[in-house]
Amino acid sequence: MQSDFILQGHVLSYQASPFEGDAPEAAARIDQAVAVSGGKIAGAGSLEHMQALLPQAEVIRHGEKLILAGFVDAHVHYPQTAMIASWGKRLIDWLNSYTFPEEMRFADRAYADEISNRYLDLTVANGTTTVCSFATIHPESVDAFFTAAQARGQRVVAGKTCMNRNAPDGLQDTVQSAYDDSKALLQRWHGVDRIEYAITPRFSPTSTPEQLEVMGQLWAEHSDCLMQTHLSEQLDEIEWVKFLFPEARDYLDTYEKFGLLGGKGLYGHAIHLEERERHQLREHGAGLVHCPTSNTFIGSGLFDMAGLMAEGQNIGLATDTGGGSSFSMLRTMAAAYEIGQLRGVPLHASQLLWLATQGSARTLHMADKIGNIAPGMEADLVVLDLASTPAIAQRSACANDLWEAIFPTVMMGDDRAVSEVWINGKRQ
């Protein structure tokens, strides 16, 4: 049985998107305490009011620390954990040199179990409580990841990666096995505890039109599922897609024509979009996932956060482990800020934290469950120490307001800033 408790500190929640209006900080609310009962948020407000709400609850005092919803990482590859930060390759060479050889190891269930637990340990240590992950072609890789998450009571999304060309023989499925394996895994796991399945064609270059077609068919049969893939990450990748799909109007069309464009679609990277693609993505309410440390590490380009937000796109934030160079959503927020600066539009701390919580939860269609602090939400929480290192502490100490005190942790923080993590109302 889960016990009731109250966390005291600076409690951050969002009443609106900080990308709307002239004052990003106005979208947020700062309370003194958050009350949790039965694994759900019971309320947020003054400490006195929360104690009146839950008179028998233990009060856990965090002083000047920041309490917010746990981070939501909307695009990762957990099988790439062991080869994160592999040197010096562009996307296609990087896949062939590092990623594909590592992913072939996931036919071994014991290895998949090991990496699943290692990955979830690393991400929770960095304050991440929900992830949306690609697995490998092996059903064992999905079973291992979901089993590890289920044991922790963690809300996760994942799917068997489908790819039947332009990959090593040991890392290809077929049109039929992609459909059959994905359907069996979906039926086994989707909606069990806090687990959701995502239909997962890796990206157009590694699937034949026939495989993309059956993935679209499966999604139509299970439209309550998410579908995740990659879109317009690098310019040479886009040229490759044009070569492989000469009849397609653009990269997005290679998904659209096979029924793989929709409101529950997640499109990682989306850097080099054409006007038609932007229009179609917005019209369908699709989720775009910004992966800034990956985009700089692999040299992909600069995501147009300001322009895409202004036109009403649905955008989340992600580490893209292991193309991304960090398991930390704090480091990911810092990279998003730096990319914004390079595009001439710096992001406010309120916007960065929103992207890493509520924004990503929206792309996953889970904003009613996670990514914010509000009554009835699931109690996935992170407590951040705003003075976790001497360098951060000295800057935070001379801040003029709370947002100025938060920003050094966003820019320089790492797992040392993560003071406490709660998943489903249980301390980790």
Band of pLDDT at residue 215, cut at 50, 70 and 90: very high
Band of pLDDT at residue 1, cut at 50, 70 and 90: low
Q: What is the pLDDT of residue 2?
A: 73
Percent pLDDT > 70 in the chain is: 100
Residue among 101, 102, 130, 97 at smallest CA distance from 114? 102
Ramachandran angles phi, psi of 67, nearest 5°: -115, 125
Q: What is the pLDDT of residue 273?
A: 98
Q: Indicate the SS3 state at residue 342.
A: helix
Mean pLDDT of the 39-68 span: 97
Q: How far apart are CA 46 and CA 52, in angstroms?
A: 10
Q: What is the pLDDT of residue 88?
A: 73
Rounded to two decimals, what is the model's pTM? 0.97
Tens of pLDDT, residues 295-320:
999 899 999 999 999 999 999 999 99
Q: What is the pLDDT of residue 335?
A: 98
Mean pLDDT of the 14-20 span: 97
Using CA atoms of 307, 310, 314, 315 in order, give the dihedral in degrees to the nearest 10.
50
Residue with tokens 């909307």: 74
Q: What is the pLDDT of residue 240?
A: 96
Mean pLDDT of the 20-27 span: 94
Mean pLDDT of the 113-131 span: 98
Residue 89 has pLDDT above 80, yes or no: no
Mean pLDDT of the 111-125 span: 98
Tens of pLDDT, residues 346-367:
999 999 999 999 999 999 999 9
Residue 382: in which H helix or E strand, if any?
A: strand 381-384
Domains and CATH numbers, the chain: 5-70+371-427 (2.30.40.10), 71-363 (3.20.20.140)
Q: Which amino acid is at 407?
A: F
Residue 205 has pLDDT above 80, yes or no: yes
Tens of pLDDT, residues 237-256:
999 999 999 999 999 999 99
Structure tokens at 242: 């044009």
